[in-house]
Structure 1
Amino acid sequence: MLKQVADGVWVRQSEWVWSNAVVVRGEAGLILVDPGIDGSDLNELADDVDKLGVPVVAGFATHPHWDHLLWHSRYGDVPRYATSDCVQLASEARERAQAMAAESASDIPLELIGLLTPLPADGGPVPGELVEHDAHAIGHAAVLLADRGVLIAGDMLSDVLIPLFDPRRPGQLGAYDAALDRLGKAAQDVNVLIPGHGAVAEGPEIAARLAADLAYLDALRQGEEPADPRLAQDWLAAPHQANQKQAGRFSQGQV
């Protein structure tokens, strides 16, 4: 069920890779950020939202990976926003996202995946400030709700996921450096950090998340094996090796 983590901000976590759907109350109504994952999660989120008694007025996708592009008809036919780069890539890769969703989860409304529109310059109904960067995926953006002390980080600053480079795009080590610098500045005055996957961080844990990712990147840069407890998960071995390969080329000046 929904857990309130700040004024007008709720989180619902799925069993699928500890994915977090976020509900934010704006001036006009509710904004659903990265709702998911499978059909039962989407339906149960709709039940929880109904109980709040506030209409859904918009959605927001933090980045164009399939598990952040989901929707359900029960949320309504409302605009679903993202950065311009995210919208473009989601549109180009929509069929691939649908196929990955069909393989990875059940009862997802595939026809509703990735139907995004660029967020207007004034933010439209989405409150707060976007923190855009190129780490992990093209068009990635966190949402900073400074007045509520909350940072919705997308697939960054997780306690269960290491930094995950996009293997198709060179320069991810530098992109992560820049992204963590921006997110670190944004997080200086927040009390709650909501990652796309994993536990919500509060207080000193926020700085610890940032330090863990910086240490991981520094180990890659030095060609060392990171002392990172997240790597105890066997399924992260392959993406970690891909990160090491890309970081090795970077250190040799090949990318």
Structure 2
Amino acid sequence: MLKQVADGVWVRQSEWVWSNAIVVRGDEGLVLVDPGINGADLQELADDVDRLGIPIVAGFSTHPHWDHLLWHPRYGDVPRYATSTCAEVASEARERAQAMAAASASDIPLDLVALLTPLPADGGPVPGEIIEHEAHAPGHVAILLAGRGVLIAGDMLSDVLIPLLDPRRPGQLAAYKTALDRLSAAAQQADVLIPGHGSVAEGPELAARLAADHAYLDALQRGEDPADPRLAQDWLAGPHQSNLNAS
């Protein structure tokens, strides 16, 4: 079920890695940000949006990982935007994204995976400020809706995921720290943070999320094992080791 977290901003969370599908009202209609995850989630999101009674005018993907590249016919044949880098990477790796989607979730319309269009310079129907950076994935962005006090962070600032460095690209530790600095500046204009995975943060929790990610990265940089409660989840052992290797 959609939960309204700010004026014209709703979130629906999936059981799969606590993934957040985000609905944003723009001037022209609704924009679906990172809808997912499995077929039932996509269908139920469509039901929720139908009840809002506002047309969907666009989709938006925060970065080119398969779980952020999904769509459903019920959302309509509308543009699905991303940064030019994200759109290019998603197109090149489309078959891989489709295979990962098929292996990880059920009843996903695979023919609609990763069909992205570069976002026009004026932002088109996507409201807010696009904050592009190089952490986690190429062409990754956050969206700042300053007038509504909302920061949509993509796969950053989660209470369930540690920072996930991209092992295929050098300099990710520095890139991630730079991205956190940019998100910290944006967070000065927000009192609601929506991560791609995990719970929505409000008020002082925004600063706490930033501090937790900085502490994790600082420990990596010192060659220490971070004392991070998120690492109590056994399934993060592999990604954490990958981070250690990349740092």
Shift of residue 245, structure 1, vs aligned partner: 1.2
Q: Does 1:121 align with 2:121?
A: yes
Distance in 1, matches of 2:198 and 2:175, equals 22
Shift of residue 114, structure 1, vs aligned partner: 0.4
Aligned residues: 247
Give the TM-score normalised by the residue count of structure 2. 1.00
For 1:22, the equivalent position in structure 2 comes to 22
Q: Does 1:138 align with 2:130?
A: no
Shift of residue 246, structure 1, vs aligned partner: 1.2
Q: Deviations over 1:61-101 (max 9, x none)?
A: 00000000000000000000000000000000000000000
For 2:169, the equivalent position in structure 1 comes to 169
Q: Deviations over 1:112-156 (max 9, x none)?
A: 000000000000000000010000000000110000000000000
Q: Which amino acid aligns with 1:130?
A: I
Distance in 1, matches of 2:246 and 2:10, equals 37
Give the TM-score normalised by the residue count of structure 1. 0.96
RMSD: 0.4
Distance in 2, matches of 1:101 and 1:154, equals 18
Distance in 1, matches of 2:198 and 2:246, equals 25
Distance in 2, matches of 1:43 and 1:170, equals 39
Query: What does residue range 9-48 of structure 1 map to in structure 2 within 5 Å?
Result: 9-48=9-48
Q: Which amino acid aligns with 1:65?
A: H
Distance in 1, matches of 2:76 and 2:246, equals 42
Q: Which amino acid aligns with 2:37?
A: I
Question: Identity over aligned residues, as a percent?
Answer: 81
For 1:221, the equivalent position in structure 2 comes to 221
Shift of residue 25, structure 1, vs aligned partner: 0.3
Q: Deviations over 1:24-73 (max 9, x none)?
A: 00010000000000000000000000000000000000000000000000
Shift of residue 16, structure 1, vs aligned partner: 0.1
Q: Deviations over 1:154-178 (max 9, x none)?
A: 0000000000011111111011011
Q: Deviations over 1:213-253 (max 9, x none)?
A: 00000000001111100000001001101111111xxxxxx
Distance in 1, matches of 2:215 and 2:203, equals 20
* Structure 1 outlier segments of 4+, above 3 Å: none
Q: Which amino acid aligns with 2:90?
A: A
Distance in 1, matches of 2:157 and 2:128, equals 19
Q: Which amino acid aligns with 1:68?
A: H
Q: Does 1:87 align with 2:87?
A: yes
Q: Does 1:244 align with 2:224?
A: no
Q: Which amino acid aligns with 2:66?
A: W
Q: Does 1:178 align with 2:178?
A: yes
Give unpaired runs (5+ residues) of structure 1. 248-255
Query: What does residue range 72-111 of structure 1 map to in structure 2 within 5 Å?
Result: 72-111=72-111
Distance in 1, matches of 2:162 and 2:110, equals 28
For 1:65, the equivalent position in structure 2 comes to 65
Task: Describe the SS at the equivalent of 2:187.
Answer: helix
Distance in 1, matches of 2:183 and 2:109, equals 32
Distance in 2, matches of 1:107 and 1:238, equals 27
Task: Describe the SS at the equivalent of 1:189.
Answer: coil
Distance in 1, matches of 2:115 and 2:32, equals 14
Distance in 1, matches of 2:189 and 2:42, equals 32
